[in-house]
């Protein structure tokens, strides 16, 4: 008896600690900058989806509370009386088990349909072709003649029409702040029209398991004010000037002699490989390895030296470059703005 009491008091001390821990974890989540959150919408489609989510939470939360309350009443009644409980009336089963669920589910179905119907924003869209690869995103602006990877720059307040394809297996494009998910399927082009209502950087993620590095198939959507978007497009349409700095110039040679050009494209160079991402503007990109690491000199050097150590299973082999050549090629890549 005493042991049991001690056990109970230990449990009693344990539960508040767990509850406090859980609350702290939740509050910590609240302090993040909400770059990847369906509950902090940054566009009309995501707003509608978030509204539906809150509606469902309220209705189903209400159902849960009422059910728990009824269960509690039943338990307490049963404890108080020694007689076997009276069965509930048939009307209660019909109302609570058939009519009420039917009304609630049909109501939520109608709300979902209305949400889906209203997801297409009107206006002249910007078209972006996104192709999923194991494990990165090819991003092409056909009207502007730009090819990049793992990041989408879009203008605020204008619809962006995404044409989604895959080069291999099924992937899924998801930027929770801007829209719901859309799968990228073999032999098929799916479209998704999203729109950002404020500038910001929103993180996206492949949302369909696609192999060992599925978790590191991330991307960013950079929403820019119209004039900043136009400036970004104009800058990307230019080719980087030939490197004048000796180390970068040597890196340009190494890029070809080491065979980087067989897998990568650099527009205007003898580099038209299509296995890996287009590197025409790699120096201006925000991340490397599809959201794996910030794009800076140290990370890029590590990546070129041994990408298999950073993202095992990706298609880029170890480079085995001499130290000087490694630094030269990184300098060249960083010059590609």
DSSP 281-307: TGGG-SEETTTTEE--HHHHHHHHH-H
Q: How far apart are CA 202 and CA 152, in angstroms?
A: 10
Please state the closest distance from residue 133 (CB atom) to ligand CUA, in A: 8
Tell me the closest approach of the beta carbon of residue 315 to ligand CUA, in angstroms.
14
Find the shortest distance in angstroms from Cβ 126 to ligand CUA: 24
Side-chain-side CA neighbours of residue 84 (13 Å)? 2
**Contact positions vs ligand CUA (CB under 6 A):** 132, 135, 171, 206, 208-210, 214, 217
- From the CB of 132, what's the least distance to ligand CUA, in Å? 6
Nearest alpha-carbon partner for 177 in 10, 19, 74, 34: 34
Residues in a beta bridge with 265: 272
Burial class (CB in 10 A: 0-12, 13-18, 19+), 170: middle
Query: Which whole-number Å values give the CA distances from 42 to 65, 222, 223, 332, in the listed order?
Result: 32, 12, 10, 36
Instruction: Report the half-sphere exposure of 218 (CA within 13 A, side-chain side).
Output: 18
Shorter beta-carbon distance to ligand CUA: residue 40 or 181: 181
Q: Which is nearer to ligand CUA, 210 or 330 (CB)?
A: 210
Q: Helix (H, G, I), strand (E, B), or coil: what is residue 261?
A: helix
Which of residues 100 and 215 has its CB atom nearest to ligand CUA in the complex? Answer: 215
In this complex, which beta carbon is closest to ligand CUA, that of residue 141 or of residue 216? 216
Shortest Cβ distance from residue 36 to ligand CUA (Å)? Answer: 15
Nearer to ligand CUA, 259 or 313 (CB): 313
Nearest distance in Å: CB 161, ligand CUA: 21
> Which residue lies nearer to ligand CUA by CB, 208 or 269?
208
């Amino acid at each position: 008896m005493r042991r049991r009491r001690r056990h109970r008091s230990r449990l009693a001390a344990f539960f508040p600690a767990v509850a406090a821990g859980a609350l702290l974890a939740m509050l910590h989540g609240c302090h993040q900058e909400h770059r990847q959150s369906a509950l902090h919408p940054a566009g009309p489609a995501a707003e509608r989806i978030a509204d539906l989510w809150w509606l469902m939470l309220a209705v189903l939360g209400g159902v849960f509370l009422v059910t728990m309350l009824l269960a509690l009443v039943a338990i307490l009644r049963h404890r108080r009386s020694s007689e076997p409980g009276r069965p509930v009336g048939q009307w209660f089963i019909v109302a609570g088990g058939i009519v009420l669920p039917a009304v609630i589910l049909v109501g939520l179905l109608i709300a979902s349909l209305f949400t889906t119907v209203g997801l297409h924003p009107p206006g002249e869209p910007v078209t972006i072709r996104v192709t999923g690869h194991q494990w990165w995103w090819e991003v092409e602006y056909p009207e502007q003649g730009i090819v990049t990877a793992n990041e989408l720059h879009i203008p605020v307040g204008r619809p962006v029409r995404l044409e989604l394809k895959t080069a291999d297996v099924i992937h899924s494009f998801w930027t929770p702040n801007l829209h719901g998910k859309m799968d990228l399927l073999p032999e098929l082009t799916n479209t998704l029209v999203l729109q950002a209502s404020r500038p910001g950087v929103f993180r996206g993620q492949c949302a369909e398991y696609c192999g060992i590095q599925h978790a590191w198939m991330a991307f960013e959507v950079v929403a820019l004010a119209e004039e900043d978007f136009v400036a970004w497009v104009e800058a990307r349409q230019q080719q980087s000037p030939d490197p004048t700095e000796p180390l970068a110039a040597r890196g340009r040679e190494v890029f070809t002699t080491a065979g980087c050009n067989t897998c990568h494209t650099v527009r205007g160079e003898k580099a038209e490989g299509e296995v890996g991402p287009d590197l025409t503007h790699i120096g201006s990109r925000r991340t490397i390895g599809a959201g794996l690491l910030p794009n800076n000199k140290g990370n890029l050097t590590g990546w070129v030296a041994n990408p298999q150590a950073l993202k095992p299973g990706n298609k880029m082999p170890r480079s085995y470059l001499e130290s000087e050549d490694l630094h030269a090629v990184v300098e060249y890549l960083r010059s590609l703005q």
